[in-house]
Chains A and B, each alone.
Chain A
Amino acid sequence: MLLAACAPATDGSIQRLDAALPRFQSEDPPAKSVDERAAAIRLLLGQARWKSAQAELERWWQSEAAGEAAFLLGWMHHKQGHFALALPWLERALAAGPTYPKARQVFFLFGRCLQESGHLKEARRAYEADGLLYPEGGDSPFRLALLDFEEGQLVSCEARLITALERFDTPREKAKVLAHLADLHLARDELGPARARLEECVKLYPHYEAFYKLSKVCARLGDEAAAQAALEQHRYWRERTQPSRGQ
């Protein structure tokens, strides 16, 4: 298969993102699909019937190279964790412009797939574009903050996390940001504030990963009782939610 012979589809991605963006900014995508096949395919995707959906989508793409078919193929691969397979489809969806419902989401989706494929610079540009299209959204500042953190840009990271915290609505989303604000404090060796953020986080949305971090911070602070309690909560919530890393 040709995929193996070539490098991942990233070179030129930034230029293509930049080229595609103005059209997405100036034109509104349709509220509904103009193609009657879309509803049935979205139903298949909603039921995780990937093979059937893929067959239908590829038929659609072959018949008229519709941006919506490419977008849904990209979304489908992303949903299955096949990030590199999603990239060429999302590139096509970008090139098609805002011709399909929810088309502006393609930038964020593209960013996620680029990030998971290890293309961090390109992912950053995709998130930045998403931020322009959704200026009130929390997703892009949150994702950009994670890239900032990995690149050692802690000031920018903190500002973006605070923005995301303000913009996110759900307890789960807010808790996610609080956990990362705790990481930021840890990076600055601010153990007390890190603990406070994590306590706020698990109060808002009890998550086994945050409880684990909390247990480690409490242990470093010498509060063994709190560390043990958090570790027990970590085990309890992990057992209860039965998470899987898919390995």
Chain B
Amino acid sequence: MRGLIGSVLCGTGLALAACSEAERFPMTDVTREAGLEMTLTSGRTPASQLLEVKGGSLALFDSDADGDLDVLVPNGATLESPTLGPGARYFENQGSMKFIDRTQSGALNLRAWCFGCAVADVDGDGFEDVFVTCWGTNVFLRSLGDGRFEHLGPDAGFEASHWSTAACWGDLDGDGDLDLYVANYVVFDPGSPPEPTRFRGADVFGGPVGLPAEPDEVYENLGAGEFREVSALWGFRDVPASYGLGVSIIDVDGDGVNEVIVGNDSQANFLFRRDPAGRFEDEGQSSGIGLDENGWGQATMGIAIGDVNGDRLPDVFSTNFMADPNTLHVNLGAGRFEDRSRRMGLALESMASLGWACAFLDLDLNGSEELLVFNGHVYARTTTESMGWQHSQQPLLHERVDQRFVRVNPACDAGWLRESHCDRGAAFGDLDGDGDLDILVAESNGPLRLLRNDARRGNWMIVQLIDDREGATNRGGLGARLVLDPEKGSRVEQTRWLVGGMSYQGASPARAHFGLGADSGSHAVEVLWPDGRRQLFADLAANQVHVLHREPAR
């Protein structure tokens, strides 16, 4: 019987050589040549507990301020030894996409079961620091600038010990420095896991539904490397504890005050807005971003932010469980969002995928951002197959066609789109200095993959911000909005936000990347700094990395 089924299916498998058009999104796996070979640990496959399926984040950041991007892999542990895993890894970029493993010399020594990471130059010393979330006590890795890290945890004020998932830096109280939001998931003891449950006729591990949620934590930056927990004080405990998996801090309405978007698993998402008294109130459901178009809370995993309709307002895309579409909430202004997933062609294509990392990014440098989603199931392969679902899944790459997104046909394009993996986190940045965006992606209990972008199609520009005014601590301008050619009235205006917390629990560099298509001329960029000050930078040449400095205070 099986043989018959198999032969029928194989005989009708996707035709891989049927398309004649050239690859438009070529990527080459250069993991080995780059020196990034490693296998991530997250329990075992097949997973027997919820704890094993939620990890896999990555950080791509410049820890030593040498201009290129280094790699941190937080890594997980196993159920047998949940507090002593194989350890996080740190790879320093030597240039030209060659990395050296500096885990030992970097004094990383981080062997907890780690999940997410949030990156920012928190103390304004010019070196990017990393907050790593864990099952257990979280860790703050302060970069010393020479490839080494100083461990700060309870000493800096981060005393709580929960199952933390995502984290994000951002200025929440408007004082100019970077505060921290930590999304927590469930109360979970691997020694006493929840009973298995039934899903679509199969036995699967229990959770998160039915488990007590862990409330999120918010920390105020007190300066001098000290933080204090202000979750209740600032109003974040006025909402029911929820299954947080993603968080981003961004000014959603351009009024100079940051909001907090929290993606919750199987529950309504939060949109926290600050009132004049400095307390935050959840407007997730009233704004429309908390639920899908039919009023359902979804299993939000990853978050991507982009401007899909050229109105300079951030639109929010989130990835979800299988049989539930990925969701694009378009920002209507005035604090309202509308689920336009179906209208923009993103819903039905995603029904057979379980999405994690995601990003808006211009892979082919044509001036229009694609939307990329990495996928993979959580249940055991035999379980997913008993439901007719794939355990390992192809990524979904959607390109813009007029006002909609259209999936790039994997049978007609690059091989990396045809490969199925059980992916989780991904980070995006120009790792080889050629101006296009390369991709680092992590498979659950699988290898790290570095995909070099070989598009070389259009012109480009990368913009990095520096606020080096005396006393400024948000040196990288985290929270800023950048608009390309704001006066030009271009066909689709390009807007970027330098914010953390995107993709899935990971960190991509806080640099704005613009594809310019055939336009090799100079461009202007308008920067809206986190404190609301606007600054226009004119005559920026194409095909260069520009470091733009904040004008001195007057």
Q: Give A residues with C-beta under 8 Å from B.
A: 1-13, 50, 58, 62, 77, 80-88, 91-92, 115-118, 120, 146-147, 149-152, 183, 186-187, 208-209, 211-213, 216, 219-220, 234, 238, 245-247
Contact = CB atoms under 8 A, between A and B. Distances in A.
Nearest to B418: A7
A88 B9 contact: yes
Given A4-B391, A80-B201, A212-B291, A120 B349 contact: yes
Contact of B12 (A91, A116, A146): A91
Contacts of A212: 291, 293-295
B353 A247 contact: no
Contacts of A216: 288, 338
B336 interface: yes
Contact of B295 (A50, A149, A234): A234
Given A10-B14, A183-B342, A183-B343, A86 B388 contact: yes
Contacts of A58: 1
B6 interface: yes
Contact of A213 (B15, B199, B294): B294
Interface in B1-60: 1-3, 5-10, 12-15
B348 A83 contact: no
Given A9-B12, A118-B349, A84 B266 contact: no
Given A2-B2, A82-B388, A150-B347, 12 more contacts: A1-B382, A4-B391, A6-B6, A6-B9, A7-B13, A92-B8, A146-B348, A152-B404, A209-B295, A245-B324, A246-B199, A247-B266
Interface in B129-147: none
A212 B391 CA distance: 34
Contacts of A247: 199, 209, 266, 299, 321, 324
Contacts of B9: 2-3, 6-9, 88
Contacts of B13: 6-9, 11
Contacts of A81: 200, 323, 387
Contact of A5 (B3, B10, B293, B332): B10
A87 to B, nearest CB: 8
B323 A187 contact: no
Interface in B316-349: 321, 323-324, 332, 336, 338, 342-343, 345, 347-349
A220 B345 CA distance: 23
B199 A151 contact: no
Given A84-B352, A84-B389, A11 B6 contact: no
A83 B323 CA distance: 10
Given A209-B295, A245-B324, A2 B10 contact: yes
Contacts of A149: 342-343
Contact of A1 (B2, B336, B352): B2
Query: B347, B348, B387 — which one has the most chain A CB atoms within 10 A of its CB?
Result: B348
Contacts of A4: 381, 385, 390-391
Nearest to A243: B296
Interface of B: 1-3, 5-10, 12-15, 199-201, 209, 266, 286, 288, 291, 293-296, 299, 321, 323-324, 332, 336, 338, 342-343, 345, 347-353, 381-382, 385-391, 402-404
A147 B353 CA distance: 18
Nearest to A210: B294
Contact of B336 (A12, A150, A219, A234): A219
A80 B7 CA distance: 24
A50 B202 CA distance: 12
A81 B266 CA distance: 19
Contacts of A150: 342-343, 345, 347-348
A11 B391 CA distance: 20
Contact of B387 (A13, A82, A208): A82
A116 B352 contact: yes
A115 B348 contact: yes
6 pairs of A and B residues whose beta carbons are closest in the complex: A2-B6, A212-B295, A84-B388, A85-B388, A209-B294, A118-B352
A107 to B, nearest CB: 17
A162 to B, nearest CB: 19
Nearest to A238: B295
Nearest to B3: A2
Contacts of B286: 219
Query: B7, B9, B266, B390 — which one has the most chain A CB atoms within 10 A of its CB?
Result: B9
A193 to B, nearest CB: 16
Contacts of B201: 50, 80, 82
B242 to A, nearest CB: 15
Contacts of A116: 323, 351-352
Contact of B14 (A11, A85, A238): A11
A80 B387 CA distance: 8
A1 B385 contact: yes
A152 B388 contact: no
